[in-house]
Structure 1
Amino acid sequence: MGSLFRSEQMTLAQLFLQSEAAYACVSELGELGVVQFRDLNPDVNAFQRKFVNEVRRCDEMERKLRFLETEIKKAEISITETEDYPRAPPPREMIDLEVKFEKLENEMKEVLVNQVTLKKNFQELTELKHVLVKTRHFFREVEVQSQKMQTGMEEGLRADTIGLGIIAGVVEQKKFPSFERMLWRVCHGKAFLRHADIETPLEDPVTGYHVKKSVFVIFFQGSQLKTRVKRICEGFHANIYPSPESQTECQEMIEGVNTRLQDLQSVLNQTEDHRYRALQLAAKNIKTWFIKVCKIKAIYHTLNLFDLDVTRNCLIAECWCPVVDLDQIQQALSLGTERSESTVPSILHIVETDHSHPTYNRTNQFTKAYQAIVNAYGVANYREVNPAPYTIITFPFLFSVMFGDGGHGLVMALFGLWMCVYQKSLAASAGNNEMWGTIYAGRYVVLPMGLFSIYSGLIYNDFFSKSLNIFGSSFNVSGAEYSNETIRHNEFLQLAPESTFSGSPYPLGFDPVWRLASNELTFTNSFKMKLSVIFGVIHMMFGVFLSLLNHVHFNKLLNIICEFIPQVLFLTSMFGYLVIMIFIKWFIFSAANSDKAPSLLITIINMFLFKPPPEQLYAGQQIVQTVLVVIVILCVPWMLAIKPLVLLSQSRKRVVRKPNYQALVNENEEDSTMVEPASDSDKNQDFDFSDVFIRQAIHTIEYCLGCISNTASYLRLWALSLAHAELSAVLWRMVLRIGLKMDSYIGSVVLVGVFAFWAVLTIAILLIMEGLSAFLHALRLHWVEFQNKFYTGDGHLFMPFSFRAILEAREE
């Protein structure tokens, strides 16, 4: 947890790996996951590197595995998940995997080709069967009609006796209307068409989709019409089948087709069983194969970053790594050398460098989401104070101040608890939906937000817009000396605090009597507005004191004197004094003398105008306020001019080596990142006082104006809390009370529907929309108002070479 407060101490190391041991060493480092390699061949094309052929072979193996995975999913076979990731196989096993995948792919392709051919034959025979059945039906109709017209005609009524040609086939149902119109127009109505729909859809052997088709029989006369009809059938992709000339031939063909269909069905079943068994065997191992190929590819891709030393037959690598993990890295190198059976040990050498160090903060499941919130604004500079551990408390707390409702907080807490308890079962579905994946990743943020909201709801005494009378009200109505008749027939009555208040305040939060008061909004507004100012000043002051930790860590004495001290005095003298005045007003004035309480806004305005306050809150108030205003005025030139003048004096005292402005600024700025060494031309440049002064003026103006605007920005705590409470009250008055007003049995039925509607609106508006709004505003308060006091956020993340991270990214 130490690296959570400040990033890990990093170092640049050089690795000397023998060619035969490099693969095994990189594999062990990938399992360890604490090393970030640098590219030592930035000018070399990706297709010209040493291990590009191995990477291509891995790409080909991944393609074959994706093909098998697609077929497994088509067959609806469940893929066996692997809990433990297998280690990266040795290079010689890569050939075995290639042969195995090639064999499986060829076998599966051969099965698919045979299956498509068999299905195509099966479809043709099925269509032929329907054509024969429908044609026989057509001929029976013709035979009946012909027997009525000509008696003694021999059975079957051959078509050629009346000089007609016949074409029978099958066409898709959706194409049949166009097919019929085209036939009528081209043949000028001289072709006779009969059709019938096939009841069961037929499967397309290529696409696998089911298609509805119709059988048609066309009667025509003459060779020209025959040619035209065939061309129309070809244009509409209709399948033409032979048509028997007699009932006997038709029956014989139907029997033969049925026999062939049975034989084909048995062959198809055997082919499908063989395919299913082969895919079942592949499904048991495909996850393991994917992991192995992914690790092999990652290793060779990393080896392409190394520099090859031909004279020593070794690979040279440079990597960033945490100092505390150097022993583990050395052990991983030794283990990799042993497994490769290399006789020359791998060497780890620490290198001194001026390059900027990466930032590495170790996280766990709980702190990962908060660190992601901070990194979304900007990655901390190397060894800079990390806001994440403080955000763990302040973020859900400020959220709850805006979302303060005990009932809504309870629902949110239960939802977060459900995600945390069943996180293993929910992890699989989180990767399939981006929105749900984002919510699931923040489960340890949602749970504290709900718990803090319950606490804030108890303080506000707000539970689904209603108050809870747990301890009994501190106001006694009988003390107002009102008669029962007066109380019953008067909607608005004023309680005298001096006679109705019991003297002991409500033990926790607001007194429930305020929910019944007509001036509830006036009271809660005043309280929440002052509370938001108090929280804002404390939060900003905490950020300023965190900057002191940066100055002390980087030994920036000049920044402590010229920035931290005047910043604290400026903020304390202006808004810190306002917070103290709020507490003084709360302690001095009560309900009995509240009419004599002065306005704090008028007091602060008179303070900066050097006017005496109309009413003294304490002795010597005018003197104290005058001194505070003078301190505020003096802090501005203190922050503005002293630091540039000191830097100018230091630059004049340097005789031997005159550093440029960039070096001076890097010695005195908060940024701890080491910069590239200055060139000779830069060393000879003079110190630019105007540039330094302008930059310092910008920082001074930004801080002074920021203190005012940031304090006003914290009033969003009050505004969103008011909006949430009012929306909740509106839902209660306008929706739920409709069902509660009915006393009959019908009211209970109506209440069920009204409650469902109220619950949907509560979840959609108050929990989701209002919750998201409060989340975004809490995010802004941390990014802008809090972190700008101490956080630079110009660093770059430490991206270690880790098999687990690569596989998790692939699954996502």
Structure 2
Amino acid sequence: MGSLLRSEDMALSQLFLQSESAYACVSELGELGVVQFTDLNEEVSSFQRKFVNEVRRCDEMERKLRYIEKEIKKDQIAVLDLENTPDAPEPKAMTDLEANFEKLENELCEVNSNSVALKRNYLELTELKHILRKTQQFFDEVDVSTHSSRTSAHEDTQSLLADLSYATGDEKLGFVAGVILREKLPSFERMLWRVCRGNVFLKQTEIDVPLEDPVSGDEVFKSVFIVFFQGEQLKVRVKKICEGFRATLYPCPESPTERRDMSLGVMTRIEDLNTILGQTNDHRHRVLVLAAKNIQNWFIKVKKIKAIYHTLNMFNLDVTQKCLIAECWCATSDLDKVQNAIRRGQEKSGSDVPSILNRMATSRKPPTYHRTNKFTAVFQSLIDAYGVSSYQEVNPASLSIVTFPFLFSVMFGDIGHGFIMFLLGLWMVMWEKPLQAKKSNNEIWNMFFGGRYLILMMGAFSVYAGLIYNDIYSLSINIFGSSWRVPEGIYSFDGEVDDWLDSTTLEPSPFHCVKQNVDNRMYVLNYSTASYLGSPYPFGIDPIWAIATNKLTFINSFKMKLSVIIGVLHMMFGIWVGLLNHRFFKQTVNIVCEFIPQVLFLGCTFFYLVIEIVYKWIAWDARRPKYETLVGCAPNLLIGMINMFLLQSGQYDNVPVAYNATATFNITCSSTNPAFGEPAETFQKILLAVVVVCIPWLLVPKPVFLWKKRQEKRPSKRYMQLGMGDNEEEVVYHDQLLIDTGEDDSKDEEESMGDIVVHQAIHTIEFCLGCVSHTASYLRLWALSLAHGQLSEVLWEMVLRIGLQTNSNHSYGGSVLIVLVFPAWACLTLVILLAMEGLSAFLHTLRLHWVEFNSKFYKGEGYGFDPFTFDHLLDDMADAE
């Protein structure tokens, strides 16, 4: 498990890079991706750093590439994916890239500007063509109406227009023609009427085909209008209104011959423009196709160059201005790889002066680095979401690989549902590469796909838990045969249950289980006469519980006790994991003052309850007890636990109250712990005394020990500061010795004794109360398992069983009903039981690990290792796409 259990051993190293080889060395380190550089110029603004001009040049190249990419997407040209990622180009290649991008951008800008100008001319000619055509139709209508008879109101209107149009002398009417957006036409008409006071005549018609906007490329719908007026004053008003509504006016000759000649000229020019536009678009398309082949390659090169110079800006320059000094964190196991990468960079640059890698001694807190793969990455991400592990403390991700799917399965235990989840995870794992190559933008799908191995394990564990519960879609499987035999307790009859009970000598009791079989006959199982064969069911729960009247009582009690056992063992395991941290950091005071009292406190309370549960399952069998002497009565553990803390002895009653909900059918008496006897009560008093002692043990010794240690070290610290204050190297070495001991004395000095006491008091109260609250919190294992089982049973009884019962007579209607009911049952199962219940169980499992388990040993006060790697640049590009 290696670095997954504890983080990698990190070393702070110092790099001395020659100026001519620094770029190549950083490029090799970026390809390697095992070094995290620290910023040595935090106080220097980004505008005052050495390589700020190079970063700006990279920004400008990225801007040009984004413009080219935008044009490629506008023409819907496919961008080819790269098979191999290109290396970072040399610094001198930046000039060639800049020149290439500048040439390509200028060519595209020129082509686009020419295209826009041509499209604008084409639009104007097209609008003029429609104006000439529509106005010619209008004047033709007027000419026809002039020579026809005037017998209707419509003909009078046409005659009036003819008189106005062909008036002579000073009374001759003027007109203007243009094009306006169709949605502006009603407002335009109202404005003309109000401003001109009704002294103008407007004629409009729609252009049937949509026109293309030359700038945006969108389709617009316009209308042709012609306005008749008399006098220069109205002419000025009409033109101003047209200008305000962004209407385009075109010259329109008065004579039909001139209009016809102009129309022919316009058509000729439109044909010429179509030819030129086609050639322009073909040239633009060829340029973009060539750019699309290299756009990804260019993006990666520019991003790598920018990342290298951004990293170089974090380095310091020596006094000679010929050497760059860098500091970086690196795993000690990767120091040889870093050395080799620096050597390769030096060879590529052709420098004769070697670069130096020097390991430093420091008191700074190293980053946390866990090596993960595609299987363990999802578990590590769950833990990092709570908090990054402190440096070299035990990583809960290594433990949650087993505990997380196991606790999930306890809540989700069902063979059928678990198998469906297992198949889903198996499908994503088997088709991992094709699904990953699709690069979906759906966040929900990416989340599920990232946790495919977790889903696979949760499904497999759920199948196992379902076998333990003997539960598949709320049904049971009879594999080994029941351990119960009812020789004379099963009766079958036709009719109601009450009639059967009245016709027998047996009286109704809660020990009768009534079951209706598929042949519509009632079977009554009398457990009062059932006999236990004496051997437990080989694996899981006996299938006879599926038809028992007290099934829910038994299953609830069994799962509740099981959840308590799992919770106490899980918390105890967390405390023992904390011992590994104490021993690794050589914190003896934590072992004596925290670990031992915590183990005793939890062991004397709830671990003792676990022992009682297991002993109760083993010691009491299914034989019927004697109520007169209470021989064979199983103890009530809850009442016994309460009496243990209240220092009360057991009280006995001779009244049986209910069945015991263990793996047997025996009776529970209302007694505390009669079977354990007086020695058990004495032992419980001893345990309670140990619990009481553990509270001050947790509260007092550790602050006292830290206070004495501070008093002992304070004079020596003062002597070090006064006597050796001039020797900085010795002071740093003294601090390094303090770090190596695992005791963070500098932190203790920063805190006052009052803060330490308050912190320890909070820790003590939190642990003591947490043992109770966390144990109760593990009952969610029982609650969610119960909810899952009941919902599954409801879907079976209320949905699918309706079709099965209808089809019991082998009728056509029953077959049709099954066909209709089964999809509903399947959809509800997938949506409610798999999706919603699965998500609920996942969140509760996550909470049990974050709060109940991690709080026993996990601090999570570290910061993650963020190496300089080019892989992050590629991931960012994929996310942006």
Same-fold call, TM cutoff 0.5: yes
Q: Contact conserved, 2:486 with 2:530, CA < 8 A, in 1?
A: no
1:201 shift after superposition: 1.5
* Equivalent position amino acid for 2:239 in 1: K
Matched residues in 1 for 2:738 and 2:357: separation? 34
Matched residues in 2 for 1:258 and 1:391: separation? 77
> Are 1:723 and 2:723 matched, yes or no?
no
Matched residues in 2 for 1:667 and 1:575: separation? 42
Matched residues in 2 for 1:429 and 1:509: separation? 43
- Which residue in 2 is equivalent to 1:712? 776
Matched residues in 1 for 2:112 and 2:416: separation? 59
1:165-244 map, 5 Å: 165-244=174-253
**SS of residue matched to 1:366:** coil
Q: Contact conserved, 1:38 with 1:319, CA < 8 A, in 2?
A: yes
1:149 shift after superposition: 4.8
- Which residue in 1 is equivalent to 2:556? 525
> Are 1:611 and 2:648 matched, yes or no?
yes
1:631 shift after superposition: 1.9
**SS of residue matched to 1:381:** coil
Bigger drift between 285-294 and 415-424 goes to 415-424
- Which residue in 1 is equivalent to 2:634? 597
- Which residue in 2 is equivalent to 1:382? 391
Q: Contact conserved, 1:381 with 1:671, CA < 8 A, in 2?
A: no
Which of 767, 772, 793 lines up with 1:703 in the alignment? 767
- Which residue in 1 is equivalent to 2:103? 103
Bigger drift between 191-200 and 106-115 goes to 191-200
Aligned in 2, Cα 1:593/1:261: closer, same or farther, shift over 3 Å?
farther
- Which residue in 2 is equivalent to 1:646? 705
Aligned in 2, Cα 1:272/1:288: closer, same or farther, shift over 3 Å?
same
- Which residue in 1 is equivalent to 2:93? 93
Bigger drift between 745-754 and 259-268 goes to 745-754
- Which residue in 2 is equivalent to 1:346? 355
Bigger drift between 390-399 and 176-185 goes to 176-185
> Are 1:297 and 2:291 matched, yes or no?
no
Matched residues in 2 for 1:523 and 1:504: separation? 18
1:420 shift after superposition: 2.5
Bigger drift between 233-242 and 504-513 goes to 504-513
Aligned in 2, Cα 1:222/1:502: closer, same or farther, shift over 3 Å?
farther
Q: Contact conserved, 1:158 with 1:246, CA < 8 A, in 2?
A: no
**SS of residue matched to 2:249:** strand
1:762-777 map, 5 Å: 762-777=829-844
1:692 shift after superposition: 3.6
- Which residue in 2 is equivalent to 1:364? 373
Aligned in 2, Cα 1:97/1:487: closer, same or farther, shift over 3 Å?
same
- Which residue in 2 is equivalent to 1:587? 618
Bigger drift between 578-587 and 399-408 goes to 399-408
> Are 1:482 and 2:491 matched, yes or no?
yes
Aligned in 2, Cα 1:263/1:651: closer, same or farther, shift over 3 Å?
closer
Matched residues in 1 for 2:224 and 2:180: separation? 7
Aligned in 2, Cα 1:405/1:131: closer, same or farther, shift over 3 Å?
farther
Q: Contact conserved, 1:354 with 1:675, CA < 8 A, in 2?
A: no
Q: Contact conserved, 1:558 with 1:668, CA < 8 A, in 2?
A: no
1:229 shift after superposition: 2.2
1:468 shift after superposition: 3.7
Aligned in 2, Cα 1:569/1:2: closer, same or farther, shift over 3 Å?
same
- Which residue in 2 is equivalent to 1:803? 870
* Equivalent position amino acid for 2:604 in 1: S
Structure 1: which 5+ runs fail to align? Answer: none
**SS of residue matched to 1:193:** strand
Question: What are the Cα deviations for residues 78-100 of structure 1, in whole angstroms up to 9, with x where unaligned?
Answer: 11111322111110001110101
- Which residue in 2 is equivalent to 1:541? 572
Matched residues in 1 for 2:579 and 2:260: separation? 100
Matched residues in 2 for 1:311 and 1:668: separation? 36
Question: What are the Cα deviations for residues 376-416 of structure 1, in whole angstroms up to 9, with x where unaligned?
Answer: 11111111110101111111111121122333223322322
Bigger drift between 378-387 and 427-436 goes to 427-436
Matched residues in 1 for 2:376 and 2:103: separation? 47
Matched residues in 2 for 1:205 and 1:359: separation? 57
> Are 1:23 and 2:23 matched, yes or no?
yes
Question: What are the Cα deviations for residues 297-323 of structure 1, in whole angstroms up to 9, with x where unaligned?
Answer: 011001110010132610101111110
Q: Contact conserved, 2:564 with 2:610, CA < 8 A, in 1?
A: yes
* Equivalent position amino acid for 1:515 in 2: A
Q: Contact conserved, 1:381 with 1:672, CA < 8 A, in 2?
A: no
Question: What are the Cα deviations for residues 625-675 of structure 1, in whole angstroms up to 9, with x where unaligned?
Answer: 222222222222222223333344445555851589xx99x9999995867
Q: Contact conserved, 1:381 with 1:795, CA < 8 A, in 2?
A: yes
Matched residues in 1 for 2:738 and 2:599: separation? 19
Q: Contact conserved, 1:409 with 1:452, CA < 8 A, in 2?
A: yes
Bigger drift between 58-67 and 82-91 goes to 82-91
Question: What are the Cα deviations for residues 151-210 of structure 1, in whole angstroms up to 9, with x where unaligned?
Answer: 9x9xx9994546332322222222222222222222333322232222222111111111
1:627-642 map, 5 Å: 627-642=686-701
1:360-509 map, 5 Å: 360-427=369-436, 432-476=441-485, 479-485=488-494, 492=514, 493-496=524-527, 499=530, 501-509=532-540
1:40 shift after superposition: 0.9
The structure having more radius of gyration, on CA atoms, is 2
Bigger drift between 745-754 and 266-275 goes to 745-754
- Which residue in 1 is equivalent to 2:669? none
Matched residues in 1 for 2:445 and 2:456: separation? 16
Matched residues in 2 for 1:173 and 1:512: separation? 77
Please tell me the root mean square deviation across aligned C-alpha atoms, in Å. 3.1
1:127 shift after superposition: 1.9
Q: Contact conserved, 1:131 with 1:169, CA < 8 A, in 2?
A: yes
1:486 shift after superposition: 7.8
1:469 shift after superposition: 4.0
**SS of residue matched to 1:196:** strand
- Which residue in 2 is equivalent to 1:625? 684
Matched residues in 2 for 1:705 and 1:633: separation? 13
Which of 301, 306, 310 lines up with 2:315 in the alignment? 306
Q: Contact conserved, 1:183 with 1:232, CA < 8 A, in 2?
A: yes
Matched residues in 2 for 1:502 and 1:258: separation? 104
1:131 shift after superposition: 2.1
* Equivalent position amino acid for 1:131 in 2: I
Question: What are the Cα deviations for residues 20-60 of structure 1, in whole angstroms up to 9, with x where unaligned?
Answer: 11101111111111111111111111100000000000010
Q: Contact conserved, 1:383 with 1:672, CA < 8 A, in 2?
A: no
Which of 321, 326, 338 lines up with 1:317 in the alignment? 326
Aligned in 2, Cα 1:127/1:410: closer, same or farther, shift over 3 Å?
farther
Q: Contact conserved, 1:724 with 1:766, CA < 8 A, in 2?
A: yes
* Equivalent position amino acid for 1:765 in 2: I
* Equivalent position amino acid for 1:722 in 2: L
Matched residues in 2 for 1:90 and 1:697: separation? 61
1:790 shift after superposition: 0.7
Matched residues in 2 for 1:21 and 1:499: separation? 89
Aligned in 2, Cα 1:483/1:465: closer, same or farther, shift over 3 Å?
closer
Matched residues in 2 for 1:811 and 1:368: separation? 19
Number of residue-to-residue matches in the alignment: 801
Matched residues in 2 for 1:185 and 1:429: separation? 62
Bigger drift between 500-509 and 292-301 goes to 500-509
Aligned in 2, Cα 1:499/1:757: closer, same or farther, shift over 3 Å?
closer
Aligned sequence identity (%):
57
* Equivalent position amino acid for 1:560 in 2: I
1:255 shift after superposition: 3.0
1:44-63 map, 5 Å: 44-63=44-63
Matched residues in 2 for 1:709 and 1:444: separation? 32
Matched residues in 2 for 1:325 and 1:335: separation? 15
Matched residues in 2 for 1:652 and 1:169: separation? 97
